[in-house]
Amino acid sequence: MDQHFFIQNRKKLYETLEDQSLTILFAGEPAHQSSDESYPFYPNRNFYYLTGITEPKVIFVATKFNGEVKEKLFIQRADPWMARWYGETITPNEAQDASGIEDIELLDKLDSFINGQFDSRDYRHLYADLEAKSWEFPAKPANKFAAAAATNYPYLSIHNLYPVLSNFRVVKSPEEIELIREAGKITADGIRNVLANAKPGMKEYQLEAYFNFVLKSRGVTEFAFPTILASGYNGTVLHYSANTGTAADGDLVLLDLGAQYKYYNGDISFTFPVSGKFTKRQKTIYDIVHRCNRAITKKIRPGIPFQELNTFTNSFFAKELQKIGLINKPEELRKYYFHGVSHSLGLDTHDVGNYRDIKLVPGEVVTNEPGLYIPEESIGIRIEDDVLVTDDGHEVLTSGLPRTTEEIEAYMADNNKNLN
């Protein structure tokens, strides 16, 4: 992503800030795993959205006085010895090139800078990303900093930037849309590789390996979320991700997976018969889900309330399942459909922002993922696309996969040598 993207995001933020304010955001640090191992590091997404920096421990500070904004990045001091073990840390020039921020300081100067600011200027506002999902949510560096600032400088008004930045992220820029599109293309190619190599009797993790191979061969190092590859009854468990079962002859295999491309995510669900042929019953249920998916896509456009997609899905499924005798009344639907049909997509797979209570606007990317789950028949089917809201309608960013039962069977017949 070009630095211009991050510069524009910061300018938009600065317009929302009060005068006499200091803003601080943290990239974060790798979480400790065990012994001398840490979990892989992922930068705080709001920090990345404003700076383009992907390295741990970096801190961003901006001050606003008399309408003038000054911004700084604080980075780690170079350590030649540690560089031999873990590689070089980001240099001032690299930080400038990525972020467009010209004033780069070393982290060991942060405390004196903060102290000097509060000693010499009459700050009235402190802004930080104070995300907290619940009362028990572990305190992040920003929350700890804000708590200390409130104690030491009780006259400060503390402001939470999390909802502000989350709402900024709902509408995607053209650059973001292209990255999501590419993540979807790579994800779809991975699915095709699974279809081309599947056969009855394979372990779920063996099928998963064919997806992983495509991602790694494209230079994709991270997944949008832990891959769900569920066969038979496992497909009726919404977030099953053990992927240790066996895809027996006659089973459906439900995939819910995504590539993460340059920090932006794809998210596709796909269901297919491991034998290459749907049974009559599987086809009946699949066709209901597919028709629902197509109908939802047609509804996605500017001005439609997000919640209307869920309302429509519930109504559609209730009518269809009553027709085939699976339920007797709409109230029984939750036995077979029990999740929302859509979420926002971007830097996070379940992307942030107050999109659930508002109407869709151009530039949003949302998922479309109806599903039916019948445990007593070991049938789990979910079909998911990533859809861009355009000025006059929508664009499916994940088109091109075989989607009807006939298309899936034909694709496997033409491309899967294991079934011929």
Query: Which residues are marked as active site?
Result: 36, 239, 256, 267, 339, 343, 350, 369, 373, 382, 384
132: region left, alpha or beta (phi > 0 left; psi from -120 to 50 alpha): beta
Q: Residues 253, 272: contact at Cβ < 8 Å?
A: yes
Alpha helices in 104-231 (DSSP H): 110-120, 141-152, 162-168, 174-197, 204-217
Using alpha carbons, select from 317, 201, 293, 295 the residue that is nearest to residue 253. Answer: 201
* Residue position matching structure tokens 């099953």: 240
Using alpha carbons, select from 408, 369, 403 the residue that is nearest to residue 238. Answer: 369
Using alpha carbons, select from 409, 123, 110 the residue that is nearest to residue 271. Answer: 409
Using alpha carbons, select from 385, 386, 394, 384 the residue that is nearest to residue 362. Answer: 394
Pull the structure tokens for residue 230: 């569920």
Q: Residues 187, 398: contact at Cβ < 8 Å?
A: yes
Using CA atoms, how far apart are residues 293 and 394, in angstroms rounded to an integer?
14
Q: Residues 364, 306: contact at Cβ < 8 Å?
A: no
Q: Residues 268, 258: contact at Cβ < 8 Å?
A: yes
Q: Residues 374, 326: contact at Cβ < 8 Å?
A: yes
Helix (H, G, I), strand (E, B) or coil at 316: helix
In order of 256, 263, 294, 360, the CA distances from 47 in angstroms are: 28, 12, 36, 25
Q: Residues 32, 56: contact at Cβ < 8 Å?
A: no
Read off the amino acid at residue 308: E
Using CA atoms, how far apart are residues 62 and 9, in angstroms rounded to an integer?
13
Angle at the Cα of 7 from the Cα atoms of 2 and 11, rounded to 5 degrees = 155
Strands 365-368 and 385-389: antiparallel
